[in-house]
Amino acid sequence: MSGKDGGKSREGLTYAQAGVDIDAANRAVSLLKEVVRRTFRPEVLTDIGGFSGLCTIPAKYREPVLVAGTDGVGTKLKVAFMSRKHDTVGIDAVAMCVNDILVTGAEPLFFLDYLAVGKLDPDEVAAIVAGVAEGCRRAGCALIGGETAEMPGFYAPGEYDLAGFAVGVVERRRIVDGRRIEPGDRVIGLPSSGLHANGFSLARKVFFELLGYAVRSYVPALGRTVGEELLTPTRIYVPVVLPLLERFDIRGMAHITGGGLTENIPRVLPPGLGVVLEPASWPVPPVFRFIQEHGGVAAAEMFRTFNMGIGYVLIVPPEEAAGLVEALAAQGERAWVIGWVESGVSGVVYR
């Protein structure tokens, strides 16, 4: 539709003038196609760019059960915005999802990402999705699709949101659901890489509001800058845990996310059972001590907000605990017996 202004023709509005640049979106897709293809498993049947992704179930499963999970990166993204570093938060998006479905014993098959931006920058989008692809590579799953939505006026300049969706598969008879957990079973802790992607509202308040740090501020107690510490990606436990399921009687598992050890372990315990943990049995990374000291945060609040150095928990019979820890050590992996299951205990008790 055209109009007249002083006798001169005026072109109608375009989508780009309204804030959505389709050409930029196409450039972003072209930048990331190859890095995404490198995540494909043999079961993937489609290429990038279709309306949906297709993936078969591996033939080794006789009675497959599909397991799905979804999560986002949360306010950790604020640190990425401040740092202008966007190539690691995609790992967090994958980790938060695949670690969750791993709790059932599931092998992650594929992943979908959802990225919403105010204004699409092809290079920035490519960096974000490259991080997602790296997370998928670490988890052994395929990145078979996703959505990048340009939403002008919805997000502040330079900001975006990132979430993901993972689907895995587990043999029905090998589902890990915690039902067989018994009093006396041992709790094995696997180390986190730091804060992972939880508790960032509190962490940001301490570092940036109370202490006035910038992301480039070097903190001697941490041995690196604030940005380097806070943007350390969430650890992906899939390659470590899946082989253990073949060798040990793992009766329950927990991914230690928001709510910490206090809130997450009880989610897999049968009624009437609780867990006793000994915090002195594992090393707590400096970042948690730093936040607790400089923020004046109570110990109980720390344990129900952060992972405190334990990102994933396995529950096994007492006779298998030492062997499991030794097996991990033989692979160069650290693990600790951090507690035990007890009847008559409510939730998690720290001693």
What tens digit of pLDDT does each residue of 5-32 get?
A: 444 445 677 777 677 777 777 776 777 7
What tens digit of pLDDT does each residue of 80-104 get?
A: 999 999 999 999 999 999 999 999 9
**Local confidence band at 196 (pLDDT 50, 70, 90 cut-offs):** very high
Measure CA 243 to chain center: 20
Given the structure tokens 């040990």, which residue do they identify?
248
Average pLDDT of the residues in 310-334: 97
In this prediction, what percent of the chain has a pLDDT beyond 70?
A: 95
Arch. (CATH architecture) of 22-174: 2-Layer Sandwich (3.30)
**Would you state the structure tokens that stand for residue 158, as one six-digit string?**
């330079």
How confident is the model at residue 335, as a pLDDT? 98
What tens digit of pLDDT does each residue of 260-292 get?
A: 999 999 999 999 999 999 999 999 999 999 999
> Torsions phi, psi of 98, nearest 5?
-70, -35
Is 57 in contact with 178 (CB distance < 8 Å)? no
Average pLDDT of the residues in 38-45: 90
Does pLDDT of 149 surpass 80? yes
Pick the CATH number of 186-350 from 3.30.1360.10, 3.40.630.40, 3.90.650.10, 3.40.50.300: 3.90.650.10
How confident is the model at residue 3, as a pLDDT? 44
Q: Where in the chain is the domain with CATH 3.30.1330.10?
A: 22-174
Q: Where in the chain is the domain with CATH 3.90.650.10?
A: 186-350
**Alpha-carbon gap, residue 104 to 125, rounded angstroms:** 32
Is 135 in contact with 236 (CB distance < 8 Å)? yes
For β-strands 348-350 and 273-277, DSSP reports them as parallel
Measure CA 256 to chain center: 10
State the Rg of the chain over Cα.
23
Q: What is the dihedral of CA 290, 296, 302, 306, to 10 degrees?
A: -50
**Local confidence band at 1 (pLDDT 50, 70, 90 cut-offs):** very low
Give Cβ neighbours of residue 213 (< 8 Å, ≥ 6 apart).
207, 219, 226
**Alpha-carbon gap, residue 272 to 342, rounded angstroms:** 9
Given the structure tokens 């910038």, which residue do they identify?
214
Q: How many CA atoms lie within 13 A of 41 on its CB side?
A: 23
Average pLDDT of the residues in 229-254: 97
> Of 340, 282, 343, 270, which Cα lies nearest the Cα of 311?
282
Rounded to 5°, the CA angle 309-315-109 comes to 80
**Alpha-carbon gap, residue 22 to 321, rounded angstroms:** 55
